[in-house]
Amino acid sequence: MRILMIIGSLRTGSFNRQIAERAMEIIGNRADVSILDYHDIPFMNQDIEYPAPDSIQHVRKDVLDADGIWIFSPEYNYSIPGVLKNLLDWLSRPLVKGDPERRTAMTGKAVTLSGAGGRSGASNARKRLSELLLFMKARQMEGEETSVALTPEEFSSDTVAFSDELLAKLGDQAERFLKFIAE
């Protein structure tokens, strides 16, 4: 089983990357898990859509090869970070120009969401992502998502404090996602 993690922040030490890396540890050898590198994709532009740039072909291949996608997203101004939205805009486009079925790299893909941010725990971003995933015809796992409301201390230290409660939530989400992918 292959799980691809998409992190909505490109910052090397981002809170969401820290959480994704911990989720990878929790999954362990039960799946082949990797993090999508999409730092070099261009802004979505129909002038360059077909044929897609090499960087877009690369991310599409990674998504297509995955059995499941786990998105970890911060919240920027009550919404999805621009870099993540741009990636999803590319992934929402048909793989083949003129395809009447509009098959994309995300069509039917098993997806789950987590997020770390301010007091809301990135709830607005996750809500917007759910709406977008529905439009993209992905299969989003139902049930509780891991939401991390970062404390002032965590913001100051730039480090997520992994409480037993947070680890249990991540563990539960990982278990449910592995089963969801297998359905």
Nearest to 31 by CA among 183, 142, 166, 175: 175
Q: pLDDT, tens digit, for every residue of 113-141?
A: 999 999 899 999 999 999 999 999 999 99
Q: For 140-168, how does the pLDDT look when each residue is reduced to its tens digit (9 = 90+)?
A: 999 989 999 999 999 999 999 999 999 99
Q: What is the pLDDT of residue 53?
A: 97
- What is the C-alpha separation between 1 and 17, in angstroms, rounded? 21
Looking at residue 153, its pLDDT comes to 95
For residues 64-103, one letter each, b for 16 or more C-beta atoms within 10 angstroms of the residue's C-beta and e for the rest, the string is eebebbbbbbbbbeeebbebbbbbbebbbbbbeeeeeeee
- Start-to-end CA distance of the chain, whole Å, equals 12
2-182: CATH number:
3.40.50.360
Confidence of residue 54 (pLDDT cuts 50, 70, 90): very high
Prediction pTM value = 0.96
What is the distance between the alpha carbons of residues 178 and 181, in angstroms, rounded to a whole number? Answer: 5
Whole-angstrom Cα Rg for the chain: 16
Q: Where are the domains of the chain?
A: 2-182
